[in-house]
Amino acid sequence: MLCDHCGKYAATTHVKKTVNGKTTELHLCAHCAAQQGIGTNFGFDLGDFWGSLFAEPAKRTQEDTVRCPDCGRSFREIADQGRPGCSTCYLTFYDRLLPSIQRIHGKTQHTGKVAAQADGTVKKERELQALRDKLNACIAEQDYETCAQLRDQIRALEQEGEA
């Protein structure tokens, strides 16, 4: 179903109004819903409150010149709509989004699975850390044969990037 207002994007906000016994239905895309002030102020999904989590009143008066290179949104638009337009928005406005992300999760550094597309530094760092942990355990157990093997593996992995 397309948006009743712009007819361009999929309708994701559905509003039913009953006035004097007459019911009308309105189907809007997220953009048009936000423009009309619908969507971010009802429903209790944590994400719906996101827009109101932005806490930089002083900076909001700044000129909003930076735009997301992929979807063209400004930080102000993301805050008003309560949601980013695309994944690149997170990278473009990383510093300004971070406080609200921290408020949601309590943390700001991903520690889980790493996608194949990542440049590999995090993946490598984690592999190295795992090997170093193993090495320490072997030293404690005085298993010097395994220690030597682990040391070689660590050295090889460290040199991989430098070559």
Ramachandran region, residue 117 (left: φ > 0; alpha: ψ -120 to 50; beta: rest): alpha
Instruction: Using the CB atoms, write b or e for 70-80: b if 16+ within 10 Å.
Output: eeebbbebbbb
Residue 87 touches another protein, criterion: CB under 8 A: yes
Q: Which stretch binds another protein (CB under 8 A): 42-50, 56-64, 132-140, 141-149?
A: 42-50
Is residue 160 a contact partner of residue 124, using CB atoms and an 8 Å limit? yes
Q: How many CB atoms lie within 10 A of CB 148?
A: 12
Question: Closer CB to another protein, residue 8 or residue 155?
Answer: 8
Residue 16 touches another protein, criterion: CB under 8 A: no
Q: How many CB atoms lie within 10 A of CB 156?
A: 9
Residue 61 touches another protein, criterion: CB under 8 A: no
Report the amino acid identity of residue 150. Answer: L
Question: Closer CB to another protein, residue 45 or residue 63?
Answer: 45
Q: How far apart are the first and last CA of the chain?
A: 54
Residue 86 tokens, joined: 């695309």
Question: Closer CB to another protein, residue 52 or residue 148?
Answer: 52
Site for another protein (CB under 8 A): which residue of 67, 90, 131, 157? 90
Helix (H) or strand (E) holding 112: none
Question: Closer CB to another protein, residue 20 or residue 117?
Answer: 117
In the region spanning residues 96 to 155, those forming contacts with another protein, defined by CB under 8 A, are 97, 100-101, 104-119, 121-122
Positions touching another protein (CB under 8 A) are 1-2, 8-12, 14, 29-31, 44-47, 50, 70-71, 83-88, 90-91, 94, 97, 100-101, 104-119, 121-122
